[in-house]
Amino acid sequence: MLSFNSSNIASKTRTIGRRMFLLNSIKAVVLLGIFGRLASLQINESSKYRSLADKNRFRESKFAPPRGIIEDYFGEEIASNTTVYQVHLIPENTKKMDELLMRLKNLINLSDKKLILIKKKIKKQKKWEAIIISDNLSWAEFSRLNLFLHELEGVNPIVSVARSYQNNASAHAIGYVSEISPKDIRNKKYLKNINIAGIGIGKTGLESTLDKEMLGLPGFLRYEVNAYGKKIKQVSVDDGQRGKTFRTTLDNEIQVYASKLLENVSGAACVMDIYNGDIISMVSSPSFNPNSFVHGINQNEWNGLLNNRDKPLINKAISGLYPPGSTIKTLTALSALENDVVNSRLTVRCKGYIDLHGERFHCWKKKGHGLVGMRTAIKKSCDVYFYEVSRRLGIDRLATTAEKFGLGKNVLKNYKEEKAGVVPNTKWKIRELGKNWYIGETLHSGIGQGYFLTTPLQLSLMTAQIANGGFKITPRILVDENDQISNLQKFLNYKNSTPGGVMSTDDQIFNFSLKPLFRNQENINLVKEAMFAATNEVGGTSYRSRHVKKEFMFAGKTGSSQIKKFTEEQRIAEVKQEDITYLERDHAWFVAFAPVSEPRYAISVLVEHGGSGSKAAAPLAKKIIKKVLERHERRNSYSNKKIRDI
Amino acid sequence: MLNKRYSLYSPFSTKDKLFSLDFTLFFSILLLGIISVFAQFSSSGGTFDYFSKSHAIRFAIFFILFLIVSFTPIRFWHSTSFLIFLILLALLLFVKFYGIQSQGSRRWVNFYVINLQPSELMKIGIILFLSNYYHKISEGDVNKVRYLLYPVIAILAPFILVLSQPDLGTAILILLSGIVVTWLAGVRWKIFAYLTLVATVTGPIIISFLKPYQKSRILTFLNPDADPLGAGYQIIQSKIAIGSGGLFGKGFLNGSQAYLNFLPEKHTDFIFTLYAEEFGFFGSVFMIFLYFLITYRIIKIGNETRSIFGKLYCYGFANAFFIYVTVNMSMVLGLLPIVGAPLPILSYGGSSMLAIMFGLGIVMSCKVYKNSAVG
């Protein structure tokens, strides 16, 4: 039996009480610790944890604002946005996926390949994330879909916007938009913030260089998610900022017209305003349909473009490099005159060839031109005359003049695909080829063959700067409303407003701060006059393509750039260009300015493997010039109006 | 003599009994219960779903049980304490072999209408048993090896049984509750020092026998950021929820962490996290105060109780209660590893609430019958 007395109880109580006191003290310490921790979390670090909770809670999805529009000079939309009809599918919302996909396949045009791709995608992503089944449905498909929508659980018909190009004519100048690729994200810094699945970004042309500004700022859709990432509700929307609209100097109607003219040849045409450098037209042929890229080009079409002999994807106007051929003779003559190497009265006897250091240099005319002066040499494009001139001039002085007039460097800043071409000189050859320059090469260069490489746009710039009296212009393809009126334009306005007002060249240069490319403007005028003769006088190389009506008259220079040198046998047999295989035929050039009375536009036309410039290129230029001059009044009044607005 | 004995059993009328209740304790428990119903309601996303509904019903039932236990003479609880302990031990053994298995552990015994977790009740059972044991033996015998044997067996048997379920949290709480009562009874410091020594030596060996998930919990506690989406997820999300509550909280039903399911176990072990997120620092401090008040009242009843059994029980229960609360809070605050210890009354869980309300009932019985001898 356990003992049970009061002293025992009292003693036990004391022990228990003492020990309990100790435990209570420990309790107080523990309580203080918990209190402190609570204060530290909820007071000191509260803001940190609040932001962490928000980070948990909110997800943001970006969406692309409408892309900026590209307009022509008159505000017509060349690259615009159009409504597209899409079908999205949220896998979570449907019970019978396979059945639904079969239904969709019957309703809209879905290939088996695409169906497999969609099924793969469904497996890969979260079941509440929308899948784009088709991003561009026809109206018929879309309305059919909407009719049966009640049977299609989980399917969302969506109306969205996508890039749309009015025509194929400006496909090269404008470029195209296509779905963003992982490579784009790696290579283009500005896309880091705009990385939105499936967004279209500019791949070539202006679409590419203006991409950043045309994309605008992405919008945000902020929504609350639960711990599993499922959307609970939308919290806020930021519409972003729509892309900037750009106005170009191009004339859409001329673009379409020129593109149509060049439809059956491979080549390019450029038209430039000789006073302000506006590029009125720039087409490359054959063209392609830029709309094909917007929703993903199909394999057949893509292969067709890649394997085409005429390289439709290349913008030949700025990326095609061709020897300038006889069109360079304008600069050879000018350079010789400016450097006082020859004077304009120099005559040379052309007997069809000259011999130099045992090598024979042929004129294009086998019989020879007889005794020719400079004017006739340009008019008839006599090679022998220019062999002699360039022999006296030397390559380095010719190269300096050529560079001054815009060859050998990029004309525009707006194209990453633009090529600079080559203006050869002695140093260039040593640097690039490690060899000394031969005099024979000077002779070839003097008639635009050999190492010279130019783009059609460069030659139109060259012609423009001759046509405007030898003043430097800065070509542009984008109209910036903040641009100052060019000095040359002011000079032109002055000339137009004071008919008969005579001002010496020096005064012109001084009063309007012009940048002359000449030493003596007489030399420029002489070249212009010779070009007039080449088109408008009997025996000129482009006489057959002249306009008789005074308002359309133009002055031009033909050219052909050799692909392959004629062999002696071919020369003797007088083989014609038409008789040799297509890819070995010469490229045909024609450069011109118009109208002759008061020049305003310069043009260059290139026809790949066209044979001769007079036959292949000049007739096309003739038609384009007429079109450009017909539209001059409209353009002029439009630009005047704009200037007044400023 | 007979008259006196009689008076010991029934010292006063029903009315007197009613007024001898500790009303501070009574209302504190009631208030905590009401708060717990709201917390469960919020935890269910603002709906009366299965969890919140059954929690409310349970609280109502167990509160009545609490009153019944309170008005049952302390002598009864004293005389049945060994029996209660043995029944619970038997149930633990039963669970070991025939228990309901769920999520890798065997903790529940099926009683047709309810599934009971004997380990939760054992937390009270061990206190009852040891209080009675030390009530019976004389102070001089406390430190004798022969008399130490029973308590050691009484503590280790349920500890090992619960540990093997496995349920580390409850096992530790049983162990701690037992040790506290033993220590209060006057067992020498030295013995506890030896035990601590043995624990530190065998600790690493025991840890090597732990299940991988238990090991990872300890490692996670040491560095929760090492694997934020894996084992550390719970503690990180819990800290985010509590911290983001700030001074005043996000408001009732506005706890984004809980509402959007970022909080794990939000009905049970992490219910305080939800509460702290919605009611902020002030709400949390109030909650701690409420628990402190209950502990304080229990100790106060212990002070007033004359029997050694009553004193040991009240003190032992007060300490255990305090340990439950602080272990749970430390756990959700990132001060202790996640061991699975519910917060008394607030957490969802029938057995846990039953044990607490039963335990509180005996405390209240000590108060009502504070002047009675227990035999």
Burial group, residue A549, by CB count within 10 angstroms (0-12, 13-18, 19+): exposed
Inside any domain, residue B375: no
> Looking at A140, A162, A184, which one is the last position of a domain?
A162
Does some domain include residue B112? yes
Indicate yes or no: pTM above 0.80.
no
By Cβ distance, the residue of A20, A39, A46 closest to B315 is A20
Taking CA atoms, A103 is separated from A149, A152, A271, B235, in Å, by 11, 8, 53, 48
Give yes or no for A149 touching B (CB within 8 A).
no
* A266 vs A569 pLDDT, higher one: A266
**DSSP 3-state of A109:** coil
For residues A230 and A103, state if they share a domain.
Answer: no
A122 with A212, same domain: the answer is no
Name the region of B46 (left: φ>0; alpha: ψ -120 to 50; beta: rest).
left
CB contact under 8 A, B138 and A224: no
**Number of helices followed by number of strands (H, E) in chain B:** 15, 3
> First CA to last CA across chain A, in angstroms?
117
Structure tokens at B4: 């006196």
Task: Tell me if chain B has a CB within 8 Å of the CB of A25.
Answer: no
A12 falls within a domain: no
Report which secondary-structure segment, H or E, holds A271.
strand A267-273
Instruction: Give counts: helices (H), strands (E), chain A.
Output: 26, 20
The alpha carbon dihedral of A628, A633, A638, A644 has a sign of positive
- A434 and A569 in a single domain? The answer is yes
Which chain B residues are Cβ-neighbours of A228 within 8 angstroms?
A: 261
CA distance B259 to chain A (A): 8
Number of domains in chain A: 3
DSSP-H helix ranges across B264-349: 271-304, 308-332
Q: What is the CATH number of the domain that holds A578?
A: 3.40.710.10
Contact A34 B329 (CB under 8 A): yes
The DSSP annotation for A286-332 comes to S---THHHHT---HHHHHHHHH-TT-TTS-HHHH--B--GGGGHHHH
Asked if A41's CB is within 8 angstroms of B139's CB, the reply is no
Cα distances from A347 to residues A369, A428, B257, in angstroms, run 11, 31, 95
Q: Has residue A300 been placed in a domain?
A: no
Distance set, CA A44 to CA A435, A568, B239 (Å): 76, 95, 13
Confidence band for A346, pLDDT divided at 50, 70 and 90: very high
Q: In the predicted model, is pLDDT for residue A253 greater than 70? A: yes
CB contacts, 8 Å: B137 with chain A: 2
Write down the pLDDT at residue B353: 95
Rounded mean pLDDT, A563-575: 78
Examine the domain organization and report whether A338 and A430 are in the same domain: yes
Alpha-carbon distance of B275 to B269, in angstroms, equals 12
Beta carbons of B185 and A57 less than 8 Å apart: no
User: Nearest-CA distance from A61 to chain B in Å?
Assistant: 19
Distance CA A541, CA A560 (A): 12
Question: What value does the mean pLDDT take over residues A598-602?
Answer: 93
How many Å apart are CA A122 and CA A377, to the nearest integer? Answer: 73
Round to whole Å and give the CA distance between A200 and B2.
100
Distances, alpha carbon A240 to alpha carbons A61, A135, B223, in Å: 12, 22, 41
Check CB contact under 8 Å for A31 and B299: no
Domain boundary among A112, A135, A162: A162
Mean pLDDT of A601-614: 93
**Distance separating alpha carbons of residues A483 and A491, to the nearest angstrom:** 16
| Residue B373 located in a structural domain | no
Same domain (yes/no): A241, A268: no
Pair A324, A192 in one domain: no
Do A34 and B330 count as a contact with CB atoms less than 8 A apart? yes
Q: Does the structure's ipTM exceed the value 0.90?
A: no
**Are both A175 and A138 inside the same structural domain?**
no
Using an 8 Å CB-CB cutoff, list chain B residues near A34.
Answer: 288, 326, 329-330, 333, 335
CATH number reported for the structural domain that contains residue A98 in this entry: 3.30.1390
Report the first-to-last Cα separation within chain B, whole angstroms.
14
Q: Is B4 domain-assigned? A: no
**CB–CB of B246 and A46 under 8 A?**
yes
How far is the alpha carbon of B233 from chain A, nearest alpha carbon, in Å?
A: 11
Are A181 and A121 spatial neighbours (Cβ–Cβ below 8 Å)? Answer: no
Percentage helix, strand, coil, to 5, in chain B?
Answer: 70, 5, 25
**Strand A219-225 to strand A231-238: parallel, antiparallel, or no bridges (unpaired)?**
antiparallel
Task: For residue A16, give how far its alpha carbon lies from the nearest alpha carbon of chain B (Å).
Answer: 5
Which residue type does A388 have? E
Alpha helices in B210-270, H assignment, sequence order = 212-222, 233-245, 256-259
Rounded to the nearest angstrom, the gap between the alpha carbon of residue B109 and the centroid of all alpha carbons in its chain is 19
B177 at A interface, C-beta within 8 A: no
Token look-up 């060899």 returns A435
User: Does any domain span residue A272?
Assistant: yes
Whole-number average pLDDT of chain A: 88
pLDDT of residue B4: 44
Structural domain including A515 reads: 252-277+320-480+487-645
C-alpha distances in Å from residue B87, one per residue of B70, B81, B112, B170: 21, 10, 18, 18
Domain that holds residue B274: 13-368
Maximum Cα–Cα distance across chain B: 71
The answer to whether residues A331 and A405 touch, using CB atoms and an 8 Å cutoff, is yes
Contact (CB<8Å) B312/A35:
no
* Rounded (5°) CA angle A38-A44-A48: 105
- Assess if residue A6 is contained within a domain: no
**Domain C-terminal end among A162, A187, A216:** A162
The verdict on whether omega for the bond into residue A595 sits within 30 degrees of 0, i.e. cis, is yes
Answer yes or no: do A137 and A272 share one domain.
no
B315 at A interface, C-beta within 8 A:
yes
A605 in Cβ contact with A624 (< 8 Å): yes
Spatial CA neighbour of B344 closest among B331, B333, B356: B356
**Rounded distance between C-alpha atoms, residue A53 and residue B240, angstroms:** 6
Percentage of residues of chain A with pLDDT beyond 70: 96
> In angstroms, what separates the C-alpha of A49 from chain B's closest C-alpha?
5
Nearest CB among B243, B256, B322 relative to A41 is that of B243
List all residues of chain B from 66 to 95 with a beta carbon under 8 Å from chain A.
none
Residues 204-263 of B with CB under 8 A from A: 237, 239-247, 256-257, 260-262
Task: Please name the residue that has the structure tokens 């206190």.
Answer: B127
User: In this structure, what token pair is assigned to residue A235?
Assistant: 């919290």
Q: A408-436, pLDDT tens digit by residue?
A: 999 999 999 999 999 999 999 999 999 99
- Answer yes or no: do A348 and A444 share one domain: yes
Chain A CB within 8 Å of residue B132 CB: no
Same structural domain, A243 and A372: no
Torsion of CA A184, A185, A187, A188, to 10 degrees: 90
Same domain, A199 and A327: no
Q: Decide if B276 and A12 are in contact by the 8 Å CB cutoff.
A: no
Distance CA B133, CA A517 (A): 117
Q: Are B247 and B280 in contact (CB under 8 A)?
A: yes
Region of B345 on the Ramachandran plot (φ > 0 left; ψ -120 to 50 alpha; else beta) = left
Is the residue at A371 inside a domain? yes
Per-residue pLDDT tens digits of chain B, which is 375 residues long: 344 444 445 556 778 888 889 999 999 999 999 999 999 999 888 888 888 999 999 999 999 999 999 999 999 999 999 999 999 999 999 998 888 877 767 788 887 777 889 999 999 999 999 999 999 888 888 888 889 899 999 999 999 999 888 788 899 899 999 999 999 998 888 888 988 888 888 877 877 777 777 777 666 666 666 556 566 788 888 999 999 999 999 989 888 887 777 877 888 889 999 999 999 999 999 999 999 999 999 999 999 998 899 999 999 999 999 999 999 999 999 898 887 789 999 999 889 999 999 999 999 999 998 887 776
Contacting B residues, span 253-312, partner chain A, CB-CB under 8 Å: 256-257, 260-262, 276, 280-281, 284-285, 288, 292, 295, 299, 302-303, 306, 308, 311-312
Give the three-class secondary structure for B167.
Answer: coil
Question: Of the candidates A324, A496, A338, which has an alpha carbon nearest to the alpha carbon of residue A421?
Answer: A324
Query: Number of structural domains, chain B?
Result: 1
Residue A641, pLDDT score: 56
DSSP A78-101: EEEEEEEEEEEE-GGG-S-HHHHH
Q: What is the pLDDT of residue B3?
A: 42
| Cβ neighbour number for residue A502 with a 10 Å cutoff | 6
B86 belongs to a structural domain: yes
> Both tokens of residue A615?
């036959």
Residue A283 lies in a domain: no
Residues in B closer than 8 angstroms to A3, CB to CB, are 138
Tell me if the bond preceding B224 is cis, omega within 30° of 0.
no
**pLDDT score, position A2:** 46
Kindly determine whether residue A56 and residue B262, on different chains, have CB atoms separated by under 8 Å.
Answer: yes
User: What single string gives the DSSP state of each residue in A471-502?
Assistant: B----BSEE-TTPPPPHHHHHHHHHHHSTT--
Interface mutation vs chain B, best among A41, A45, A56, A58, most B CBs within 10 Å: A41
- Together in a domain, A89 and A183: no
> What does the alpha-carbon distance between residue A218 and residue A241 come to, in Å, rounded to a whole number?
7
How large is the average pLDDT for residues A463-477? 93
**B5 lies in a domain?**
no
- 10 Å CB burial of residue B62 (0-12, 13-18, 19+) is buried
Residue A3 included in any domain: no
Bond preceding residue B166 cis, omega within 30 of 0: yes
- What pLDDT is recorded for position A481? 74
Q: Is the pLDDT of residue A640 over 70?
A: no
Is the CB of B333 less than 8 angstroms away from the CB of A37? yes
Residue A34, both tokens: 């918990």
**Do the chains contact at A23 and B138, CB–CB below 8 Å?**
no
Angle formed by the axes of helices A487-497 and A505-512, nearest 10°: 120
Kindly state whether residue B374 falls inside one of the protein's structural domains.
no
- Give percent of chain A above pLDDT 90: 54
DSSP conformation letters of A188-237: -GGGGS---TT-EEE-SHHHHHTHHHHH-B-EEEEEEE-TT--EEEEEEE
The pLDDT value given to residue A572:
79
Nearest to A9 by CA among B22, B356, B311: B311
Residue A102 CA to residue B362 CA, distance in Å, equals 70
- Please indicate, yes or no, if residue A598 is contained in any of the structural domains: yes
Relative to beta strand A70-71, strand A246-248 is parallel
